[in-house]
Amino acid sequence: MSDVSVFFLHGLAYAGLLFLVSAGLTLVFGMMNVLNFAHAAMYMLGAYFSFTLLHVTGQFWLCLLVCPVLLFIIGALVERFLLRRVHVYGHLHELLLTFGLAYILTELVKWIWGNYPLAVNIGGFLGTTVQLFGITYPVYRIFIFVCAILVGTAMALILFRTRLGIILRAAVNDSEMVNALGFNVPLVFTGVFAFGAALSGLAGVIAGPLLTTYPGMAHEILIDAFVVIVVGGFGSLGGAVVASLLIGELQSFGVLLFPKLSLALVYMLMAAVLIVKPSGLFGEKQ
């Protein structure tokens, strides 16, 4: 019985991480209609920045603050000086650009930090375990889930309860009209893209101690995040929550129940959703 609850908690922790990655991805896609293939590469960058910063200062909390800010700046620069430039050529070129960017970032990471896994030890309170419903469980995994809840709630509040949220949602529907009403839509887009990058950076910092930090980590999470978006529905925040939980638990229990099939389970879920409801569980019909 305790086995099941441990695997359930493991699933929750991974779901939290998945949500942090896919929330930024789905936000940028929903707002700007750009599928950012470099999103996971930025997540990886967050993990590596955090590794170095932790190595130098030894303060994990500092990493949680600084790395997302760094990624925010990188994201803003990418949007302003690269993405906006190819926007006129159309959708295909935006995809190609982010894909090329992911490729370059991966190669850069290999160059700077080496093509091998790095271990991250956080120590402190987060590195300890806690007694929970009669089982001993690492604090860090609970911390991930709490982080995801906090970020998700904050995003929902901003989007649906503030003036900024109204402008953002309006810009999705009709960016020209919002522009004409006197709001600086290009700036809004830069902000959204940068915020998405910051979220991926935060996810990267959090992923470091949970998973290993290595150059293949970007591709690994990218596929899972894509599956989350397909299952949850494009551009839907609520869909991302549900799909993250589904896939997190599926990954976790898949290893327990069907060890040989665990890798294929996620894809099977995706294929099933594609057959039954191609627009995803919460997606609007395209």
Give the residues lining the site for another protein (CB under 8 A).
29, 33-35, 37, 82, 85-86, 89, 91-93, 95-97, 99-101, 103-104, 107-108, 111, 219, 222-223, 226-227, 229-230, 234, 263-264, 267, 270-271, 274-275, 278, 286
Q: Is 211 helix (H, G, I), strand (E, B) or coil?
A: coil
**Which residues, other chains included, contact 191 with Cβ-Cβ below 8 Å and sequence gap of 6+?**
76
Closest by Cα among 49, 41, 100, 51 to 75: 41
Q: Is the dihedral of CA 222, 225, 227, 230 positive or negative?
A: negative
Q: Is the dihedral of CA 193, 195, 199, 200 positive or negative?
A: positive
Q: How far is the CB of 106 from another protein (least distance, A)?
A: 8
Q: Is 260 helix (H, G, I), strand (E, B) or coil?
A: coil
Indicate the residue among 91 and 161 with the shorter CB distance to another protein.
Answer: 91
Q: Which amino acid is at 187?
A: L
**Which residues, other chains included, contact 101 with Cβ-Cβ below 8 Å and sequence gap of 6+?**
37, 38, 41, 78, 82
Q: How far is the CB of 49 from another protein (least distance, A)?
A: 19
Indicate the residue among 144 and 244 with the shorter CB distance to another protein.
Answer: 244
Q: How far is the CB of 243 from another protein (least distance, A)?
A: 13
Indicate the residue among 55 and 91 with the shorter CB distance to another protein.
Answer: 91
Indicate the residue among 117 and 278 with the shorter CB distance to another protein.
Answer: 278
Q: How far is the CB of 166 from another protein (least distance, A)?
A: 26
Q: How far is the CB of 275 from another protein (least distance, A)?
A: 8
Q: Is the dihedral of CA 197, 202, 205, 209 positive or negative?
A: negative
Indicate the residue among 18 and 270 with the shorter CB distance to another protein.
Answer: 270
Indicate the residue among 183 and 226 with the shorter CB distance to another protein.
Answer: 226
Q: How many residues does the chain have?
A: 286
Q: Which amino acid is at 160?
A: F
Q: 17 is written with which tokens?
A: 């991480």
Pair 214, 106: CB distance under 8 Å: no
Q: How far is the CB of 74 from another protein (least distance, A)?
A: 15
